[in-house]
Amino acid sequence: QKRRHVENSVANVKKTNKGKMDQNRMAPCLQLPLDNKLLENVIEKAKDWALMHGACMRSRTNLNKDVLQFAPFVLLPSTFPRREFKKAVEIQPILNELVHKVAHDYEFLSSSLKSTNTVDHFTRRLFEIYETVRKDGITQPVSLGLVRSDIMLESTCSGKERGSAAKSDPYCCWKQVEINTIASGFGWLGPASGLIHRYVLQELGRMDMIQNLPENHALQGLCQGMLEAWKLYNNEKAVIMFVVEDVTYNICDQRFHEFELRSQNPNVPVIRRNLTQISERAKLGSKKELILDDMEVGVIYFRAGYEPGHYHSENEWNARLLMERSRAIKCPSIYYHLAGTKKVQQALAKPGVLEKFLSPDKTSVVKEIFTGLYSLDKDEFGDRAVQMAIENPGHFVLKPQREGGGNNVYGDKVRTAVEAMKDSEERSAWILMERISPPMQLNYLVRPGDPNNGCPPLSDVVGELGIFGVVIGDSEKILVNKQVGHMLRTKLSTADEGGVAAGLGALDSPYLC
Ligand code: ADP
Ligand code: MG
Ligand code: MG
């Protein structure tokens, strides 16, 4: 019966995607489907492997903090073109440089966010913190950027865009979805996914394939970045503070960062506090040191503070301002946070803008990875974008200035939303982005509590690759600029978003081909 189930699902996939199949389908790394007995057996082992190696999250349904579940994953690594992967890795230092320079350009940030700030309360509040510390004089000129550039392969390309891709390739290039400058997660779960896949391939007797899984030292690289910032702070007693949510679902990812820091340098204490606790217990010392529970904080690593829900009252906003006023090195500083907004991303895509920040050769490389990004401001350009969205909603994603997934608008809802705000200033809070169509491939989605008796059907999935960057510096110079690793998240090809923590996506790792 199970075998029939698998075969049926393959047949379904073939039926529903008929016509599109040749055009935008990547071959999986192995011949599929797998034999049912083998599948059941390897999934059972892989789940336990994930549980026992910390590829886990807290459950959203079982609120007992002592209980972990494995994070959803796909059984096999997804094929990803080697050349495109290499390009993504190589371009990261340029993106680091770009984001660093943008973060330090007050004029650019303020003009790019001007219209949005009039209608988007949250972004305005962040910007007000920036204005306040600018007026006071920036206490800590050094910023720590632990960024992640997220990209998707594009499968629907016009002739000229195909570049060096072969005619038979189901993609032509990749495009950037966004760059994250705050709480760029999966520094652990990214590498962990590659480790799951190493184990799975080994158990499938395919050791020969393991060479195509790229090394991934994201966790070490990100933590090394934090420790370099800590050294620059130059106080041996200073601690590193993680700013965390009230309940952390993505706990393994965060704790593995902490464990890695402690193992790289056991003399650096690591503490975790939420914004409310910081508001109650932190104060500034005579030299604007951030003092909390009698400890001096040298580096602040934000894994919270990127969405309105993290600020329950004025207290949490006061805490954010206090930290920004302090001498602690922030990851990110407020202007780095603002540099990662969608509105800034859209402003960077305007003709002639990248040139202000990058050399001509770097500019042309970065231009290629941008897809269409349009302002919805109440002006002639915005009107044109509104018209495009109404005429062709499926071609676009509508995005507000938010992070953490689940905030965008897709499909026909793009039209409804744009029509509803057409005549109001509110539309300046949003941007319109061309929708990327990544090629699909078959895989098995392994989820906790899956009802398929340990034998999930083959599904059509698409991936989003994230490349991690570390950048440290001030307005004058960049001291550290590195690419440090990657993560891959995969979702059903029919899903709009693929947040793993939100339960929509699955851990994955690239199989280079
Ligand atoms: P967030 O900061 O909330 O993560 P993103 O811009 O990354 O916002 O959008 C969330 C998700 O929506 C992405 O992970 C991706 O799955 C999907 N998405 C965003 N932009 C696009 C796009 N232009 N084309 C296709 N999918 C997109
Ligand atoms: Mg984001
Ligand atoms: Mg994202």
Does 7 score more than 70 pLDDT? no
- What residues pack around ion ligand 2 (CB closer than 5 A)? 178, 180, 403
CA of 75 to the centre of ligand 1 (A): 23
Minimum mean pLDDT range among 156-160, 208-212, 309-313, 475-479: 156-160
Whether ipTM tops 0.90, in short, is yes
List the structure tokens of 422.
């057409």
Instruction: Please say whether the beta carbons of 173 and 366 come within 8 A.
Output: no
Instruction: Please tell me the residue having the least CA distance from ligand 1 atom 12.
Output: 497
In this structure, the residue with its CA closest to atom 15 of ligand 1 is 497
Helices (H), 156-289: 189-203, 218-233, 251-264, 275-281
Our CA angle for 140, 144, 147, nearest 5°, is: 150
153-157, 166-170, 189-193, 466-470: which has the minimum mean pLDDT?
A: 166-170
* pLDDT over 60 at 4, yes or no: no
How many CA atoms does the CB half-sphere of 257 hold within 13 Å?
31
**DSSP assignment letter at 445:** E
φ, ψ for residue 154 (rounded to 5)? -105, 130
The predicted pLDDT at position 161 comes to: 65
**17 has a pLDDT exceeding 60:** no
| pLDDT per residue as tens digits for the range 246-273 | 999 999 999 999 999 999 999 999 999 9
The H or E element spanning position 295 is strand 295-302
pLDDT for position 15: 38
Protein residues with CB under 6 Å of any ligand 1 atom: 150, 177-178, 397, 399, 402-405, 407-408, 433-436, 464, 497-498
For ligand 3, the distance from its centroid to the CA atom of residue 122, given in whole angstroms, is 18
pLDDT, tens digit, 9 for 90 and up, residues 167-209: 778 899 999 999 999 999 999 999 999 999 999 999 999 999 9
CA distance 508 to 197: 8
434-449 pLDDT, tens digit each: 999 999 999 999 999 8
Ligand nearest to the CA of 345: 1
Measure the CA–CA gap between 464 and 439, rounded to whole angstroms.
Answer: 11
Predicted local distance difference test score (pLDDT) of residue 8: 38
In the chain, the N- to C-terminal Cα span, in Å, equals 34
The domains of the chain are located at 2-371+436-512
Q: How far apart are CA 228 and CA 255, in angstroms?
A: 19
Q: Is 286 helix (H, G, I), strand (E, B) or coil?
A: coil
Q: Picking from 74-78, 200-204, 451-455, which range would have the lowest pLDDT averaged per residue?
A: 451-455
Task: Give the pLDDT of residue 415.
Answer: 98
**Helices 82-103, 360-369: inter-axial angle, 10-degree rounding:** 120
pLDDT at residue 477, as a whole number: 98
The span from the CA of 213 to the CA of 194, in Å, is 7
Q: Is 263 exposed, middle or buried (0-12, 13-18, 19+ CB in 10 A)?
A: exposed
Reported confidence tier of residue 323, pLDDT bands at 50, 70, 90: very high
Would you call the peptide bond into 141 cis, given omega within 30 degrees of 0 as the criterion?
no
Q: Residue 16: what pLDDT?
A: 39
pLDDT value at 503 more than 80: no
Task: List the beta strands (DSSP E) in 85-209.
Answer: 143-154, 173-180
Residues 6+ apart with CB under 8 A from 133: 139, 321, 324, 325, 334
Confidence band for 451, pLDDT divided at 50, 70 and 90: confident
| Structural contact between residues 126 and 116, judged by C-beta atoms closer than 8 angstroms | no
Ligand nearest to C-alpha 499? 1
Three-class SS state of 304: coil
Other CB atoms within a 10 A radius of the CB of residue 179 amount to 26
Ligand 1 centroid–CA 457 distance in Å is: 26
- For residue 434, give the ligand 1 atom closest to its CA: 23
What is residue 450's predicted lDDT score, i.e. its pLDDT?
Answer: 83
* Ligand 1 atom nearest residue 396's Cα: 23
**Hey, which of 147, 178, 342, 433 would you mutate to test ligand 1's pocket, going by the most ligand atoms within 8 Å of its Cβ?**
178
Band of the pLDDT at 12, cuts 50, 70, 90?
A: very low
**Is the model more confident about 7 or about 500?**
500
Quote the CA–CA distance of 122 and 330 in Å, as a whole number: 19
Summarised one tens digit per residue, pLDDT across range 286-300 is 999 999 999 999 999
Q: How far is the CA of 222 from the centre of ligand 3 (A)?
A: 18
Residues 326-330 have a mean pLDDT of 98
Nearest-ligand number for the alpha carbon of 181: 2
Give the position of tokens 């073939």.
14
What percent of the chain stands above pLDDT 70? 94
- Mean pLDDT for 309-330 is 98
Residue 192 has what pLDDT? 98
Nearest-10 Cα torsion for 306, 312, 315, 321: 10
Query: For residue 399, which ligand has an atom nearest its CA?
Result: 1
Q: Whose CA is nearest to atom 23 of ligand 1?
A: 435
pLDDT above 50 for 2: no
Residue 88 has pLDDT above 90, yes or no: yes
Our measurement of the distance from residue 443's CA atom to the centroid of its chain's CA atoms, rounded to an integer in Å, reads: 22
Kind plus residue range of the DSSP H or E element containing 511: strand 510-512
Q: What band does 158 get if pLDDT is binned at 50, 70 and 90?
A: low
pLDDT of residue 21: 41
Q: Which of 408, 414, 496, 500 to mutate to test the pocket of ligand 1 (most atoms within 8 A of CB)?
A: 408
Question: What separation in Å is there between the alpha carbon of 131 and the centre of ligand 3?
Answer: 27
CA atoms of 69 and 501, how far apart (whole Å): 11
CB 385 within 8 A of CB 414: no
**Mutational pocket test of ligand 1: of 397, 493, 496, the residue with most ligand atoms within 8 Å of the beta carbon:** 397
Supply the pLDDT for residue 164: 66
Nearest to 253 by CA among 56, 428, 69: 56
Q: Which pLDDT does position 11 carry in this prediction?
A: 37
The b-or-e profile of 445-484 (16+ CB within 10 A means b, else e) is: bbbbeeebeebbbbbbbbbbbbbbbbbbbbeeeeebbbbb
Residue to substitute in 153, 177, 341, 500 for testing ligand 1 pocket (most ligand atoms within 8 angstroms of CB) = 177
Helix (H) / strand (E) containing 337: helix 334-339
Whether the pLDDT of residue 162 is over 90: the answer is no
- The string of pLDDT tens digits covering residues 371-414 is 999 999 999 999 999 999 999 999 999 999 999 999 999 999 99
Kindly give the distance from the C-alpha atom of residue 180 to the centroid of ligand 3, in angstroms, as a whole number: 7
- Any idea what the Cα angle at residue 293 is, between residues 269 and 223, rounded to 5°? 25
